[in-house]
Amino acid sequence: MRVSLAQTVYVLVALLVALPLAAYAFPFGGRASIVLQCVYNSTIYANLGPPRGGEFIWTTGTKTYQFGPPSHAGQWLLGLAGAPYYCIYRISPLTIYTGIAITMMGSSGSAAPAASPTLGPGGASGRGALPTSITPPASSPSPSPVPTSGTVMISEVYYAVDSTHGIKPQNEWVELYNGTSAAVNVSGWKVEDAFTSDVLTSGVTIAPGKFLVVAAASTTKALWNIPNEAFASVESSIGDGLSNGGDRVVLRNASGAVIDAVSWGTNTTVFQPSAPVVPYGNSLWRKLLSKDTNSAADWAATSTPTPGK
């Protein structure tokens, strides 16, 4: 007998409702955008979207029903989660993903559709194409295109800070791109997240076809070797700090008008569906600098962030 995805999810929901809640556990459920096998401590990291998403860790102690551990992006996971836990993804450089340990879990099974391919460096569509995979491949970005978009736009967001490039929220950054044919003075412009905003200081200008990295702390410049003319620090967290599981970045001019915006993960205030959640060390990266469709389709994860370049 063939069982549909909807029937499977319904059965899982009924199963979870019927089972008693473990002490300190809470229910979760959503579709996985990222699934990473962490062989160094026999765990699996899963980043889930709505309705009750977030970052979760499957362990060998998880009570797992019917379809086994999380296996691929696009899969629906439902269950109970409890205490904070970790997933050792890489030893050199040390890469650790944190989340909430899954105490009990069911899934939609191996027949669940995979997530749509993401785009990144190495392909032929503007900033390139990168197929979805468990381990994001390392590659070099294509050269920056000529300024043809006719506007200033958000070009890259680095919120999933890894240990090689500092700590959260101090070393988060947002990159802006000037797609016009003239220099743009962005003094007094605001960069905001879902809760609060930061104002760019006076004298900040972006040359035509160039980038500006707006960082939380001045120490970020040396961590990425960003040129002086492509760097500005607000010397505080960007907004109240950019959430890995879901947040937004909005760029406003000195008059308060929205120039550009992006949202990812569980935050759908800008895009619905939102842009993908990225793994630690990756950035959320605009695939084409020559146009803006004002949708999540403009964005992808890249394993090789290029701030200011």
Q: What digits encode the pLDDT tens for the residues 260-291?
A: 999 999 999 999 999 999 999 999 999 999 88
Same domain, 194 and 275: yes
Same domain, 50 and 185: no
The answer as to whether 49 is a domain residue is yes
In this predicted model, what pLDDT tens digit does every residue of 113-148 receive, in sequence order?
544 433 333 333 334 333 233 333 343 344 444 445
Same domain, 44 and 165: no
Same domain, 168 and 289: yes
Q: What's the whole-number mean pLDDT along residues 215-242?
A: 94
Q: Give the pLDDT score at 8.
A: 46
pLDDT band at 34 (very low <50, low <70, confident <90, very high): confident
Which of 88, 107, 126 marks a domain boundary?
107
If 0-12 CB within 10 Å is exposed, 13-18 middle and 19+ buried, where does residue 272 land?
exposed
The answer as to whether 116 is a domain residue is no
State the amino acid at position 255 in one-letter form: S
In this predicted model, what pLDDT tens digit does every residue of 72-98 receive, in sequence order?
888 899 999 988 898 888 777 777 888
The answer as to whether 133 is a domain residue is no
Q: What's the whole-number mean pLDDT along residues 30-53?
A: 86
Q: Give the pLDDT score at 3.
A: 44
Same domain, 48 and 189: no
Q: Give the pLDDT score at 33.
A: 80
Tell me, what CATH number does 238's domain have? Answer: 2.60.40.1260
Same domain, 290 and 163: yes
Same domain, 162 and 260: yes
Residues spanned by the domain of 217? 152-302
Q: Give the residue among 181, 182, 162 at the shortest CA–CA distance from 172.
A: 162
Same domain, 160 and 101: no
pLDDT band at 108 (very low <50, low <70, confident <90, very high): confident
Q: Give the pLDDT score at 111.
A: 53
**b/e per residue 106-132 (b: at least 16 CB within 10 A):** bbbbeebeebeebbbbbeeebbbbbeb
**Number of independent structural domains in the chain:** 2
Q: Give the pLDDT score at 120.
A: 35
Same domain, 66 and 162: no
Q: Give the pLDDT score at 67.
A: 82
Tell me, what CATH number does 53's domain have? Answer: 2.40.50
Phi, psi at residue 14, to the nearest 5°? -60, -40
Same domain, 156 and 296: yes
- For residue 91, how many other CB atoms are within 10 A of its CB? 8
Same domain, 157 and 294: yes
Q: Give the residue among 209, 212, 206, 249 at the shortest CA–CA distance from 233.
A: 212
The answer as to whether 63 is a domain residue is yes
Does residue 231 surpass a pLDDT of 70? Answer: yes
Same domain, 156 and 288: yes
* 2-6, 214-218, 254-258: the lowest-pLDDT one: 2-6
Which of 83, 107, 131 marks a domain boundary?
107
The answer as to whether 307 is a domain residue is no
The answer as to whether 141 is a domain residue is no
Output the CA–CA distances (angstroms, integers) from residue 217 to 56, 204, 253, in the order listed.
29, 16, 22
Spatial neighbors of 44 by CB under 8 A, at least 6 apart, are 35, 36, 37, 38, 57, 58, 69, 70, 87
- Residue 5: CA atoms inside 13 Å, Cβ hemisphere, count? 12
The answer as to whether 292 is a domain residue is yes
**Which CB contacts under 8 angstroms, 24+ apart, belong to 36-42?**
36/87, 36/89, 36/97, 36/134, 36/135, 36/279, 37/134, 38/87, 38/88, 38/89, 38/97, 40/88, 40/89, 40/90, 40/91, 41/86, 41/87, 41/88
Sequence-ordered strand ranges (E) for 9-116 = 26-38, 43-52, 54-58, 63-64, 76-90, 95-107
Spatial neighbors of 229 by CB under 8 A, at least 6 apart, are 207, 210
The answer as to whether 147 is a domain residue is no
Q: Give the pLDDT score at 275.
A: 94
Which of 92, 107, 122 marks a domain boundary?
107
- Placement of tokens 């003075």 in the chain: 185
